[in-house]
Structure formats: C-alpha cells, structure tokens
C-alpha cells in the first residue's frame, strides 16, 4: 500500500473570506501569511507580561475578557510590550470577536508592522469553535494511498493491491451495482477528529481510468449518484494474487487483521484474486459481514460454537452408549 505524505496550508486571506471578517489593518501582502495549526490563542498570559514561544504560530483571538483587561488594567507601556509580541512575524493574524473595536495602540502597532487584524460580531466562543473546526479539517495532515475508495452499503471501503490486479475494473462493477465511487487510483487520506477521511483531488472527482479504454466520466455514464466527494474510511480490502501454496482465511475465526493509517486502526481483510471469481459480489459479501460484525454478529464465531456444541453432544452420546454396553 504505497503512501505519500502531504502538508496542506491555508492563507489568512482564505480564512477571513470563509467567515466574512472585517479587515481592520493589513494590506493584501499581509494576508498571504500562512496558518500551520488549528489551535487558537486567547492571550491571557501575554497580556499579563508572560510571553511563551509555544503560542506564536496560533491565530490570536481577543474576546470580552481580553478587551476588558486591556481597557481597565493595562497602561500604555504594558500594552505596547504585549502588542509588539502578539504582532510577531510568526503569528498569522488577530481576530477581535463579539463586535469589539480594536484598541488604538494595537491598531497603531499593526499598521506600522503591516500586520492583519480582523473583527467579527460573532461571540468569542462561537468564533473559536468555528475556526478550530474549519482549520482542523483544512490543515489535517494527509497521505496519498494508491487504490480505490468506494462507499458500499454506506461503509467507506478502501480497496488496495498491486498494480494490474484489476482494482478499477472491480470498482466499476460495484458502481454498476449501485455503489458509489469516491476515488480511483489516488486516495487522499486525512485524519480529522480522530476519524480517517478519504477524498480525491477536485479535478479527479467522478473520473476513472480503465486500461484499454482510457478515462471515463462515471457521473455522465451512471448518474451523479454514482460518485461522492468524500467518505470515512472504515474497512480495507487488500487484493492479493491467488497462490495455491498459501493458506487463506477460510473460516474467519482467525485473529482479525488491522491496518494503522495515521494512527487510526481499521479492519483489514485479504482476499485472493483468481480468474472466474466474482470479485464485486465477494466484496459486497465482505462488507455485509463487516456490518454484521459492527452489530455484534460474528458468523465465524457462531459457526464455531455450533461445531463445538455438536462435538460435545456427540461425545456425550458416545459416553452414554459406552455406559450402556
């Protein structure tokens, strides 16, 4: 399963546009600053005169308490000392929430340093939640995995395996059966709120490559419901070449196998591919069995219990017959 890590970025300009913030200071050049973390900073310590280096790369948010403290507790000297730190080169921007005006000394320093300051009428807590959730998604670390990502019976299924295994052809059969394509060949995997999410680049959405045919538009051929923009990745199916000398899981009572992707574990099943096997039907069956497992029904364990009960009953019958004879 080939993986390639990517590092996303977002500019202050894009963030401000997302939430329609009013710009107070900073020109277009200042809006090119990049955000690298979803964490925000409410600068209580900095206003009190303590300047930790750990917060310099966070978006700074001033709310009711901070503005009140600045107005009532800070003299000009302490304001200048704190604001010089808060408008440092590493800090992307300052957002003033709850409709407050920007303190005059802060505006003066920001104009001199061409530092971006915004204000919004949204309450402080809501501003923080909105920003954190948005940045958590946009700045989530991602890796690229080569394979197919499908939504089958509502479950995000990643189909992986060596090149030439027929993954795209299997995915096409699943689409014809009414399931949805998320990504063909390239899966962009993100960890968002401890959940693994899969997408494909915008320009590739709804397209597939088939050897001998070329690029096809799945949406045009099978309808807009044949593909989706993203899905949680819940289950991995790894296709392997059939080898008569290798032991495969036949009953299902063996220890379950998992893949760990960006710290998230997902159930993994290895399925051998050989000529004549209806792979799309087998994958549908595997997903149905996965759904039963999530509901607490393990077909393999149920079968094992039936066999053990039958063995115990036969043993008891043999013992009774031996006692009678």
pLDDT, one tens digit per residue, over 12-38 is 999 999 999 999 999 999 999 999 999
pLDDT of residue 110: 97
Which 3 state secondary structure label does DSSP give 287? helix
pLDDT of residue 169: 93
Which of 185, 188, 199, 234 does the annotation list as catalytic? 185
151 is an active site residue: no
CB 200 within 8 A of CB 183: yes
pLDDT digits (tens, 9 = 90+) for 95-131: 999 999 999 999 999 999 999 999 999 999 999 999 9
Radius of gyration of the chain (CA): 29
Burial class of residue 319 (count of CB atoms within 10 Å of its CB; 0-12, 13-18, 19+): exposed
Which of 167, 184, 188, 199 does the annotation list as catalytic? 167
Which residues of the chain are in CATH 3.40.1390.20 domains?
Answer: 10-139
DSSP string, 46-83: HHTT---GGGTTSEEEE-HHHHHHHHHH--HHHHHHHH
Q: What is the CATH number of domain 10-139?
A: 3.40.1390.20
Which of 193, 202, 211, 250 does the annotation list as catalytic? 250
250 is an active site residue: yes
185 is an active site residue: yes
* Neighbouring residues of 223: CB distance < 8 A, sequence distance ≥ 6: none
Q: Where are the beta strands (DSSP E) in 193-322?
A: 195-199, 207-210, 214-217, 230-232, 235-241, 257-261, 264-273
Average pLDDT of the chain to the nearest whole number: 88
Residue 94 phi, psi (nearest 5) = -120, 135
pLDDT of residue 241: 85
Which residues of the chain are in CATH 3.40.50.300 domains?
Answer: 142-301
pLDDT digits (tens, 9 = 90+) for 67-99: 999 999 999 999 999 999 999 999 999 999 999
Q: What is the CATH number of domain 142-301?
A: 3.40.50.300
pLDDT of residue 94: 97
């Amino acid at each position: 399963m080939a993986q390639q890590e990517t590092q996303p970025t977002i500019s202050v300009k894009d963030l401000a546009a997302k939430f329609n913030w009013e710009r107070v200071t900073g020109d277009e050049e200042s809006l090119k600053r990049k955000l690298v973390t979803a964490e925000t900073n409410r600068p209580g310590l900095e206003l009190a005169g303590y300047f930790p280096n750990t917060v310099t790369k966070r978006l700074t948010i001033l709310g009711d308490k901070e503005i009140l403290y600045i107005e009532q507790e800070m003299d000009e000297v302490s304001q200048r000392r704190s604001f010089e730190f808060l408008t440092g080169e590493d800090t992307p921007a300052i957002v003033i929430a709850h409709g407050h005006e920007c303190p005059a000394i802060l505006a003066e320093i920001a104009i001199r340093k061409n530092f971006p300051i915004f204000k919004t009428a949204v309450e402080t807590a809501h501003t923080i939640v909105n920003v954190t959730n948005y940045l958590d998604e946009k700045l989530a670390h991602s890796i690229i995995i080569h394979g197919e990502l499908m939504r089958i019976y509502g479950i995000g299924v990643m189909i992986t395996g060596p090149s030439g295994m027929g993954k795209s052809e299997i995915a096409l059969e699943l689409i014809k059966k009414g399931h949805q394509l998320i990504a063909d060949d390239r899966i962009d995997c993100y960890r968002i709120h401890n959940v693994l999410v899969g997408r494909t680049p915008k320009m590739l959405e709804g397209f597939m490559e088939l050897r001998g045919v070329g690029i096809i538009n799945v949406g045009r051929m099978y309808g807009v419901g044949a593909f989706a923009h993203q899905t949680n990745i819940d289950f991995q199916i790894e296709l392997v070449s059939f080898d008569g000398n290798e032991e495969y899981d036949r009953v299902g009572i063996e220890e379950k196998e998992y893949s760990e992707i960006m710290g998230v574990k997902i159930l993994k099943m290895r399925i051998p591919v050989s000529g004549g096997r209806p792979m799309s039907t087998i994958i549908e069956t595997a997903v149905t069995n996965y759904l039963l497992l999530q509901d607490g029904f393990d077909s393999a364990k149920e079968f094992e219990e039936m066999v053990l009960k039958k063995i115990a009953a036969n043993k008891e019958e043999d013992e009774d017959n031996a006692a009678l004879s």
